[in-house]
Structure 1
Amino acid sequence: MSKQMKEIQFPSASYDQWKEEATKALKGKPFESLFTKTQEDITLSPLYTQEMLVEKLGDQLENQISTIRSLKEAEGFNVAQQIFGGTTEQFFANLQDSVDKGNNYITIDSRTAFEWDNESLAKLANILTTTPFKLIVQNDNDPILAVFNQIEEKQNIKGFIISEKQFTLNGFENVRTFCANSATYHYEGANAVQELAITLALASKFANESSFEEVSKKFFVNFAIDTQFFAEIAKLRAFKVLWKAFAAAFGVDNPQAIPVLAENSLRSYSKLDVYVNLLRAGNEAFAGVIGGADVITVHPHDVLSKPTDQSIRIARNVLLVLKEESRVAEVLDPSGGSYFIETLTAEYVEKAWDLFNQIEEAGGFDAYASAGTLQADLEEVYNARLQAVETRKESLIGTNIYANPVDELPTETNPILSDVKRLAVPFEQLREQFKLAQAKIGVLTYGKLKDFKPRADFVAGFFATAGNIPEQSGELLTVESATQWLQNANYDYVIVAAKDDDAKELVPALLSNKPENVILDVAGKFKEEQDEWQQSGLNGFIFAGQNIVKKLNEVLESVKGVQQ
């Protein structure tokens, strides 16, 4: 590199200059259209600057960063893959294979296909004396907990037990059992602020039932990491700041780090195009690593049905690649100092602390939950999430957009996960219903290809979400040929795809000659013609921004009506 090149300096641009250029690029759209409102009622800016961050945090910025870095419980992160197996022999073979191939924490959900008898418990007890673990149990009487009765060297046992109710294992000082399992509320729809506030409310409940000192020794959190990459990074970082503030309320200025466990979220998992789940898992796991999680679990991409040896290996390797090849775990707080991440972290801290105080003022977590306030708040957010997916404001690739219409739903269902409130469920149900209905759907494509193709493609993508492939008429260049095609077409349901001017000429003629047993819709919005056309027999419209699930269910009911 020449000396001249080394001495080149690029001029810095101010926010106002950037805004001016961005406004030009928008070509008439308002600059405000670049701002995004999140589920947490936080407005994301299209650009963050050092000045904006300093203005928001000031002297607190350094304190926020140092707190996050000092409250990291483990160096790097540990791989904690779940063990699967239909029999005890298969389960323990998979367990040993998992440990041999890099699993740091064995993860076991006690709801296995086999019973935990004395022989299997003794075998598990021997393994737990040498390998850290994460156990998922239903209550403090879960049969798998009898394994601890067979362990004598209690001081060497290290692990976590996830249960909805905290309990203590006497003598097992390194086994944490006070869990704020925010994943439970995550699957009910909770946003990041609600998850953070709930973890603090649960910690407060535990502290009031025992002591803060006991909580410090036994407490840990388990987060589910969703697809909102930067938001999830900020969520994990915000917890550490909140924990220091929580400890300060108990008179502890330098609290010990609380272990942060994370698993990739199943909320966005789909049974359709399951390999997209692998992409989601990688994105979520990476967010967990950057956010500072200490122990991470990645669910296999086909875990909703029945994981295979291959999918389990791939899930484990997602974390091994991040750990061994990306080297990101060797960096302490990789996102620290980012104008965007630091600002978002601070906003989560502020809002979560406020919500936590509201919960405490309501009488604490139990009172907040028993009053129905918690469930009502979660349901409101969940419905908003579902609405965003059903109207395509949020994308589920392979499910509500870019769907593969020939993709078959797996026949098997993992019973442990059957109750998870996933956003893809309405689309999976549509697939099943349309397959049973055997609806014959056609698209009347009017005009030249270049004229009708955009709307014809939109209609094809619309019905692909239900697993249906509408047949297209091809170019119909006259009203007479289009009318004749409709009269001769052997379809239950037909959608007209044409540019606006052509549709306004064509649709009245079609309605005048439409067979009674054919349901007719038009692709596009025609507000001025809507009432007149529907009074003349048009069923309705298909357009962008529409609730896909609602519309397709209406189409399904109409088709069933003409098929009878």
Structure 2
Amino acid sequence: MANTMKNIEFNAASYSEWQDAAVKALKGKPFESLFTKTAEGITLEPLYTQQMLIDRLGEQLEKQVATVRANKFSNDFTVAQQVYGDTAESFIENLKDSLARGNEALTIDSRVNFIWDEAVLVQIADYLTEYSFKLIVQGQDDALLKAFDYIADDKASQVEGFIISTETVTLSKFGKVRTYCANAVTVHNAGATAVQELAYVLASAAKYANEEQDFDTFASKFFVNFAIDTQFFMEVAKVRAMKVLWQAFTAAYGANGAVPVVAETSVRSFSKYDVYVNLLRAGNEALSGAIGGVDFFTVHPHDVLSKPTEQSIRIARNVQLVLKEETHVLKVQDPAGGSYFVEDLTAALVKDAWAYFLQIEEAGGLDAFAAQFDADVQAAYEARVKATQSRKQSLIGTNIYANPQDEVAQEENGQFADVQRIAIPFETLRAEAVASNVKAAVVSFGELKKVKPRADFVSGILNTVGIVPEKTAPFATVQEVQAYLSQTDASYIIIAATDDDVKEHIAAILTAKKDGQVVDVAGRFKEDEAAFAQAGVDGYVFAGQNIIEKVQGVLATTKEVQR
């Protein structure tokens, strides 16, 4: 039997054969429904083949793979966890503990709750000579930068790290400290797409290169800082595309060489509700960063929007340690190399980002293009928010599978207060909905197995804003529904039934509707809206609807009725 199995061969299916099978499985839906358009304007296909990739890229495919592999700045994935502390003493203790437990580089944000006095700066200086670092400061006069004053001249040459600042910082004695940062995190947090981030990096590099007359001097000070989001393959391709774009950029100046890619987990997809989902997001983001080829990485704790705890900081650090020690992904030079999907996506990002970068340069550079760039990023943010509010994009624990019993931590981490998080509209409306104390009910009518999916769906919609409706068992007769409407004290009611039952019985059911009750129907009944409105239907709850707009309308109506 074993020998027979070795000789078995399977015929390779052609794309057209696969497409025919897919069309059959779709049962009437068009094949095009399997295609997805991303926020970057790139269309993702349901299947990628070797021949498709060769047809699209040809000889460029081999060059792209070789470029990605040749432009790795380092062969490591440095764990660079941020250090926290309410006091200088606790900060230093946490720093020591972090390094003892696997942290490989210092990440310090100067915005802390204590004063950077001489005593703590002297201690920081000692660590800066021993470990690589990432410092986040607010300009040349930031107090944290005074730590460099306490480093002896004979040790200056061994100090190596990155400084992220709102303005360019000058450290003349420290040649290995990179201070020219294309900080794509800022535009990422404002809502930018991967294409916009990559173009921003190139435009920032062009600006710095023009300011520094010698290109090699510029290149030795320059680095990229990315935020890695939850779109796994897009983020892998983003980091890989950066390497290809960097080679094209340096070639224009007659130079070559890799650029360091520093990165962190994105918080724009973090939510204050169901915070442990943030941990899953962070793990996903860290893995995509490692596969893409990031050199220096920070994982934000899952409760970083409020106040990280000792436990959450430890978990965040361990995400990277597990990634490094147990996945073995870092033992492969380019784990995504050769993937038909990822290579195609990488090429698309390279093409679109380079075109957008040229548009910025033709306008006179980043400063001259700033207004248009901000408008483009804002449009991308609004599209992302709209997709989340209509559930075209899932935000687990916030716009789907929400736990209405979740409570938000009262503390606010000012470091991330300005991030355009897509969960903010839900968090804001949830606070308003809970405060309004609206009593809601989902009234089922008909056979259980037919109406339960709709009842669960609308209940889940209300859960996203913290409303826990009363859910009735399915009523069998119109009279039972009428009796419930006449005695319930719920001010907002959703009728869940099959389309046929709604059309046949809704008018009779709503004869029992009391004054002050807002009654919606689960489902979309475009052709019946006029008749339903005359019968007393106030609105509808259906898939693809903007949840925020819907609930805002319900709250406004119930408030008006209560007055």
TM-score interval for Structure 1 and Structure 2 normalised by the shorter chain: over 0.9
Counterpart of 1:431 in structure 2 is 430
Instruction: Describe the SS at the equivalent of 2:406.
Output: coil
Q: CA deviation at 1:284?
A: 0.4
Instruction: Describe the SS at the equivalent of 2:350.
Output: helix
* Native 8 Å contact 1:76 1:330 kept in 2: no
User: Structure 1: which amino acid aligns with 2:480?
Assistant: S
Instruction: Describe the SS at the equivalent of 1:323.
Output: helix
Instruction: Describe the SS at the equivalent of 1:302.
Output: coil
Q: CA deviation at 1:2?
A: 3.3
Q: CA deviation at 1:536?
A: 4.1
Q: Does 1:166 align with 2:168?
A: yes
User: Once superposed, what is the RMSD of the aligned Cα atoms?
Assistant: 1.2
Counterpart of 1:207 in structure 2 is 209
Distance in 1 of aligned mates of 2:515 and 2:264: 54
Distance in 1 of aligned mates of 2:19 and 2:423: 37
Q: CA deviation at 1:65?
A: 1.1
Counterpart of 1:321 in structure 2 is 322
* Native 8 Å contact 2:507 2:536 kept in 1: no
Cα displacement string for residues 135-188 of structure 1 (whole angstroms, at most 9, x for unaligned residues): 001112111111111111210101000113223210101100000010100111
Q: Trace 1:34-113 onto structure 2 (pairs within 5 A).
A: 34-113=34-113
* Native 8 Å contact 1:445 1:498 kept in 2: yes
User: Structure 2: which amino acid aligns with 1:336?
Assistant: G
Cα displacement string for residues 532-558 of structure 1 (whole angstroms, at most 9, x for unaligned residues): 222443211111110001101111111
Counterpart of 2:549 in structure 1 is 550
Counterpart of 2:236 in structure 1 is 233
User: Structure 1: which amino acid aligns with 2:179?
Assistant: T
Calculate the TM-score normalised by the size of structure 2: 0.98
Distance in 1 of aligned mates of 2:489 and 2:380: 44
Instruction: Describe the SS at the equivalent of 2:130.
Output: coil
Task: Give ranges in structure 2 of 5+ residues lacking alignment.
Answer: none
User: Structure 1: which amino acid aligns with 2:336?
Assistant: S
Distance in 2 of aligned mates of 1:270 and 1:495: 28
* Native 8 Å contact 1:261 1:296 kept in 2: yes
Q: Trace 1:475-514 onto structure 2 (pairs within 5 A).
A: 475-514=474-513
Counterpart of 1:188 in structure 2 is 190
* Native 8 Å contact 1:67 1:240 kept in 2: yes
Larger deviation, residues 81-90 vs 54-63: 54-63
User: Structure 1: which amino acid aligns with 2:202?
Assistant: L
* Residue among 202, 222, 225 paired with 1:222: 225
Instruction: Describe the SS at the equivalent of 1:262.
Output: strand
Cα displacement string for residues 21-72 of structure 1 (whole angstroms, at most 9, x for unaligned residues): 1111111111111111111111111111111111111111111111111110
Q: Does 1:25 align with 2:28?
A: no
Q: Does 1:245 align with 2:242?
A: no
> Once superposed, which parts of structure 1, at least 4 consecutive aligned residues long, lie more than 4 Å away?
none
User: Structure 1: which amino acid aligns with 2:131?
Assistant: T
Larger deviation, residues 401-410 vs 510-519: 510-519
User: Structure 1: which amino acid aligns with 2:196?
Assistant: Q
Q: CA deviation at 1:480?
A: 2.1
Instruction: Describe the SS at the equivalent of 2:312.
Output: helix
* Native 8 Å contact 2:228 2:264 kept in 1: yes
Distance in 2 of aligned mates of 1:48 and 1:452: 39
* Native 8 Å contact 1:164 1:181 kept in 2: no
* Native 8 Å contact 2:482 2:510 kept in 1: no
Distance in 1 of aligned mates of 2:450 and 2:287: 44
Calculate the TM-score normalised by the size of structure 1: 0.97
Cα displacement string for residues 309-357 of structure 1 (whole angstroms, at most 9, x for unaligned residues): 0100000000000101111111101111111111111111111111000
Counterpart of 1:277 in structure 2 is 278
* Native 8 Å contact 2:136 2:163 kept in 1: yes
Aligned length: 560
Q: CA deviation at 1:111?
A: 0.2
* Native 8 Å contact 2:34 2:45 kept in 1: yes
* Native 8 Å contact 1:492 1:563 kept in 2: no
Distance in 2 of aligned mates of 1:60 and 1:446: 60
Counterpart of 1:349 in structure 2 is 350
Q: 1:3 to 1:510 in 2, by over 3 A?
A: closer
User: Structure 2: which amino acid aligns with 1:398?
Assistant: G
Counterpart of 2:135 in structure 1 is 135
Counterpart of 1:330 in structure 2 is 331
Larger deviation, residues 210-219 vs 74-83: 210-219
* Native 8 Å contact 2:82 2:298 kept in 1: yes
* Native 8 Å contact 1:182 1:223 kept in 2: yes
Q: Trace 1:262-273 onto structure 2 (pairs within 5 A).
A: 262-273=263-274
Q: Trace 1:288-299 onto structure 2 (pairs within 5 A).
A: 288-299=289-300
Distance in 1 of aligned mates of 2:165 and 2:312: 27
Instruction: Describe the SS at the equivalent of 1:529.
Output: helix
Q: CA deviation at 1:431?
A: 1.7
* Native 8 Å contact 1:164 1:179 kept in 2: no
Distance in 1 of aligned mates of 2:49 and 2:338: 11
* Native 8 Å contact 1:298 1:319 kept in 2: yes
User: Structure 2: which amino acid aligns with 1:378?
Assistant: V
Instruction: Describe the SS at the equivalent of 1:396.
Output: coil
* Native 8 Å contact 2:140 2:170 kept in 1: no
Cα displacement string for residues 468-497 of structure 1 (whole angstroms, at most 9, x for unaligned residues): 111023232222221121111111111111
Instruction: Describe the SS at the equivalent of 2:108.
Output: strand
Percentage identity across paired residues of the two chains: 55
Distance in 1 of aligned mates of 2:173 and 2:9: 64
Cα displacement string for residues 429-460 of structure 1 (whole angstroms, at most 9, x for unaligned residues): 12211111111111222123223212111111
Instruction: Describe the SS at the equivalent of 1:129.
Output: helix
Distance in 2 of aligned mates of 1:101 and 1:444: 54
Q: Trace 1:389-404 onto structure 2 (pairs within 5 A).
A: 389-404=388-403
Instruction: Describe the SS at the equivalent of 1:432.
Output: helix
Larger deviation, residues 509-518 vs 411-420: 509-518
Distance in 2 of aligned mates of 1:543 and 1:3: 57
Q: CA deviation at 1:4?
A: 3.1
